[in-house]
Structure 1
Amino acid sequence: MAVGIPVELVLDTGDGDLEQTEEELQYLLAELSELELPSIDRVTRAPAPAGTRGGDAIEVGALLIGLGGSGALLPVLLGLVQDWLSRRQSGNIRMKIGDDELELTAASDEMQRRALEEFLRRHGE
Structure 2
Amino acid sequence: MEARTIPVVLVLDTGDGDEEYAEEQLQQLIAELSELDLDSIDRVTQGPTPPGSRSTEAVQLGALILDLGGSGALLPALAAVVQDWLNRRRSGSIRLKISEDEIELTGVSDEVGQRALEEFVRRHGD
TM-score, normalised to structure 2, is 0.85
Aligned to 1:78: 79
Q: Where is the strand percentage greater, Structure 1 or Structure 2?
A: 1
Q: What's the offset of the Cα at 1:44?
A: 2.2
Greater mean alpha carbon deviation, residues 103-112 or residues 38-47: 38-47
- Please tell me the residue identity of whatever aligns with 2:26: L
CA distance in 1, matches of 2:117, 2:47: 31
How many residue pairs get matched? 113
Aligned to 1:33: 34
1:123 aligns with 2:105: no
- Whose radius of gyration is greater, 1 or 2? 1
TM-score, normalised to structure 1, is 0.86
CA distance in 1, matches of 2:125, 2:38: 17
Aligned to 2:17: 16
Aligned to 1:5: 6
Structure 1 unaligned segments of length 5 or more: list them: 48-57
CA distance in 2, matches of 1:20, 1:11: 12
Q: Where is the helix percentage greater, Structure 1 or Structure 2?
A: 2
The sequence identity of aligned pairs, in percent, is: 67
4+ residue segments displaced more than 3 Å = none
